Chains A and B, each alone.
Chain A
């Protein structure tokens, strides 16, 4: 399809397991964002890529969280040694432009998210 695709849609992990969440952005989109959305809350910023460069990872909650976008398209968010507090929906969004100024239309295209449940 033409939209942002995320997989898996649902993931159940036992505490301590590693998980990997995949994001396939819209083809040609420069910017890619990961957000974490806890139940009943708004999305919270995790990290940002401009092409393959991870320009901002200030929102990653701990060093157990790692993201990559090696070829500037598909991105993977990896969570090591999952904890119950990691349970959330992880949203990926892409944008045509970089975030260097007014050229950014601000329109982010979001995927449907990956719902992670840690038991």
Chain B
């Protein structure tokens, strides 16, 4: 079964620092999807990005960037010049082709950005 590991439970940085959130996954499928979601204090998860396993191109969206490396089964998320509003819990998730009802989430990384 698929598994997602987010080894960093909590990270605290000072505003304007760069921060990388790690995500390591396990799957036996060759076709799968990886996701990042943000959960602010209000509770709802907000979709940030989806990658499929065929697309290893890294992506940048404003201050956010993602580094997908199949060789190390990692899908890391970097926030550049962090801001207080980035404070939230971030979840990495994986769903397998043909079983993508069951999106498996990691335990999450709580990011605190201090002013």
Considering the complex of A and B, which 7 residue pairs feature the smallest CB-CB distances, nearest first? A42-B105, A106-B50, A48-B101, A110-B45, A112-B43, A56-B101, A107-B47
| Dominant secondary structure of chain A at its interface with chain B | loop
Q: Which of B6, B43, B46 contacts A113 (CB 8 A)?
A: B43
In the complex, the answer to whether A59 meets B102 with C-beta atoms within 8 Å is yes
Total number of B residues with any Cβ neighbor in A under 8 Å? 26
B35 within 8 A of partner (CB): yes
Give Cα A101–Cα B95 distance, bound, in whole angstroms.
Answer: 11
Partner of A45, one of B6, B47, B103: B103
Q: How many residues of A contact B (CB 8 A)?
A: 30
Asked whether B45 lies within 8 Å of A91 as measured between CB atoms, the reply is yes
| Segment 28-65 of A: residues with Cβ below 8 Å from B | 33, 40-45, 48, 55-56, 58-59
Kindly identify, within residues 28 to 47 of chain B, every residue whose CB is under 8 Å from any CB belonging to chain A. Answer: 33, 35, 37, 42-47
B47 lies within 8 A of A109 (CB): yes
